[in-house]
């Protein structure tokens, strides 16, 4: 596995259970990955993957279920009012608020417990000969030169993937957006029982959560925004204005303990396999954050990947890997559409006309007043069944 984030570790975990040895390489330290804030929502099948494949075996507790929070819906807020979309009632499913950093820690603990070969803080990672007998060379944390031979290389090296460049004759599909997200962590109590996705004349805002006393919030900003230049008062004014409404809703405020501007892009590369190299997660596709599909897609890739790799090695037939791209991309494009749709429905495009604004409100009103519309949102948010 080139990349030891959640995708690489989950691949390593599932292959280990199939009796296949893996080596995980990552240039980052465990501490760096554990402390880089990412999204916090797990689809139903992502939770199942954690609980049903032995990640927590022997721990006496399935942390995602005991530490995470089950959310049966979300609030869409626009026109100064909140509208609840009840996933439980609409599709009989829920999602779990459980930060990606926790998923990483759980997988790291599971691989360590099972004797996994994890090599963090390496550098100069290079993948050779993926069409023949793959080798991965790198400089170890000790400064020495190392080499690993592999039957299959998994490129799970994230949104700035080097592995993806090794796929010959690839096609890339990209969409840029004229905005980004300003994300904060703050010490405050929860403002609502579930997440609030808010559309306002000043742009989008999302009120998410972490714990009883720490909350995660985002608001749409210019991609060139410097988070350091904002005072806390200005951050709260902006959030309060975007959430304000005739119902008198008010956000709970508190000290801001982390802030950053998040990149925003839609990207897909195909194929996701070349020779003995297979790509997983952000290495092959990126979604804008609205709807929190990134980690869920990576885990869905890995579930398919582990199954085809296991079969290919068992049958000694690399042609089995051919089905990976089509199976993974079917879900990827659904999630691309879902993330794009949630984004465009809730964000304010710079230069939007009055027509654009009123059309957007028309879309949101038709969505929340339609069983069919709300069900579509619920299906996409909680995640489509894995093929
Ligand atoms: C979070 C992030 C998202 O992009 C989202 O849609 C929901 C929640 C989060 O960080 O909690």
Task: Give residue 387's pLDDT.
Answer: 56
Task: Give residue 279's pLDDT.
Answer: 98
pLDDT band at 160 (very low <50, low <70, confident <90, very high): very high
Mean pLDDT score across all residues of the chain: 97
Decide: helix, strand or coil at residue 183. strand
Q: List the one residue out of 124, 126, 122 whose CA is nearest residue 141.
A: 122
Which has the minimum average pLDDT: 37-41, 165-169, 257-261? 37-41
Q: What is the pLDDT of residues 312-328, one digit of tens each?
A: 999 999 999 999 999 99
Q: Examine the predicted complex and report whether its ipTM is higher than 0.90.
A: yes
pTM of the model: 0.97
Active site residue 293: yes
The CATH number given to 180-262 is 3.30.9.10
pLDDT band at 263 (very low <50, low <70, confident <90, very high): confident
Active site residue 71: yes
Pairing of the two strands 73-78 and 196-200: parallel
pLDDT band at 185 (very low <50, low <70, confident <90, very high): very high
Is it true that 6-70+97-175+265-348 and 180-262 share their CATH fold?
Answer: no
Q: What is the pLDDT of residues 281-313, one digit of tens each?
A: 999 999 999 999 999 999 999 999 999 999 999
> Please, are residues 173 and 267 in contact by the beta-carbon 8 Å criterion?
yes
Q: List the one residue out of 382, 378, 376, 386 whose CA is nearest residue 332.
A: 386
Give the pLDDT mean for 81-108: 97
Q: What is the pLDDT of residues 330-365, one digit of tens each?
A: 999 999 999 999 999 999 999 999 999 999 999 999
C-alpha 138 – ligand 1 centre gap (Å): 34
290 lines ligand 1 (CB under 6 A): yes
Query: Which residue puts its alpha carbon closest to atom 10 of ligand 1?
Result: 39
pLDDT band at 30 (very low <50, low <70, confident <90, very high): very high
State the SS3 of 341-354.
Answer: HHHHHHCCCCCCCH
Active site residue 381: yes
C-alpha 167 – ligand 1 centre gap (Å): 31
Give the pLDDT mean for 104-131: 98
Give the pLDDT mean for 59-88: 96
C-alpha 197 – ligand 1 centre gap (Å): 10
List 13, 16, 71, 285, catalytic entry? 71
Give the pLDDT mean for 208-227: 97
Task: Give residue 385's pLDDT.
Answer: 81
Give the pLDDT mean for 250-279: 96
Q: Kindly list the domain boundaries of the chain, sorted by start residue.
A: 6-70+97-175+265-348, 180-262
% of the chain exceeding 90 in pLDDT: 96
Separation of alpha carbons 180 and 92, rounded Å: 33
List 197, 218, 285, 288, catalytic entry? 197
C-alpha 216 – ligand 1 centre gap (Å): 8
Query: Which residue puts its alpha carbon closest to atom 6 of ligand 1?
Result: 291
Query: Which residue puts its alpha carbon closest to atom 5 of ligand 1?
Result: 292
**Domain 6-70+97-175+265-348, CATH number (from 3.20.20.80, 3.50.50.60, 3.40.50.12500, 3.40.50.1100):** 3.50.50.60
């Amino acid at each position: 596995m080139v990349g030891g984030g959640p995708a690489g570790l989950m691949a390593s975990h599932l292959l280990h259970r199939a009796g296949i040895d893996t080596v995980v390489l990552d240039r980052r330290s465990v501490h760096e990955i554990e402390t880089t804030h990412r999204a916090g929502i797990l689809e139903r099948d992502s939770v199942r993957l954690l609980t049903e494949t032995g990640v927590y075996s022997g721990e006496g507790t399935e942390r995602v279920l005991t530490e995470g929070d089950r959310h049966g819906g979300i609030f869409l807020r626009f026109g100064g009012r909140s509208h609840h979309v009840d996933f439980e009632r609409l599709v009989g499913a829920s999602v779990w608020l459980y930060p990606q950093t926790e998923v990483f820690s759980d997988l790291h603990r599971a691989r360590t417990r099972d004797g996994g070969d994890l090599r963090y803080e390496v550098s100069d990672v290079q993948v050779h000969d993926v069409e023949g007998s793959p080798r991965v060379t790198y400089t170890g944390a000790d400064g020495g030169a190392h080499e690993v031979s592999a039957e299959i290389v998994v490129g799970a090296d994230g949104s700035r993937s080097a592995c993806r460049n090794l796929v010959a004759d690839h096609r890339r599909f990209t969409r840029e957006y004229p905005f980004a997200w300003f994300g904060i962590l703050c010490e405050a109590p929860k403002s609502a029982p579930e997440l609030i996705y808010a559309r306002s004349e000043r742009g989008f805002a999302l009120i998410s959560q972490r714990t009883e006393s720490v909350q995660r919030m985002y608001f749409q900003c210019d991609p060139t925004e410097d988070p350091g230049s904002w005072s806390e008062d200005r951050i709260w004014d902006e959030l309060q204005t975007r959430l304000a409404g005739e119902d008198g809703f008010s956000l709970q405020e508190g000290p801001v303990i982390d802030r950053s501007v998040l990149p925003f892009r839609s990207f897909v590369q195909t194929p996701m396999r070349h020779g003995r190299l297979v790509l997983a997660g952000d290495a092959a596709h990126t979604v804008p954050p609205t709807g929190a599909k990134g980690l869920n897609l990576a885990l869905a890739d890995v579930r398919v990947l582990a199954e085809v790799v296991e079969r290919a090695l068992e049958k000694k037939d690399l042609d089995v890997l051919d089905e990976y791209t089509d199976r993974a991309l079917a879900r990827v494009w659904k999630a691309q559409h879902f993330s794009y749709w949630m984004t465009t429905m809730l964000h304010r495009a710079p230069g939007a006309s009055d027509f654009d604004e009123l059309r957007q409100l028309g879309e949101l009103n038709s969505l929340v007043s339609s069983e069919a519309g709300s069900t579509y949102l619920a299906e996409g948010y909680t995640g489509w069944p894995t093929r």
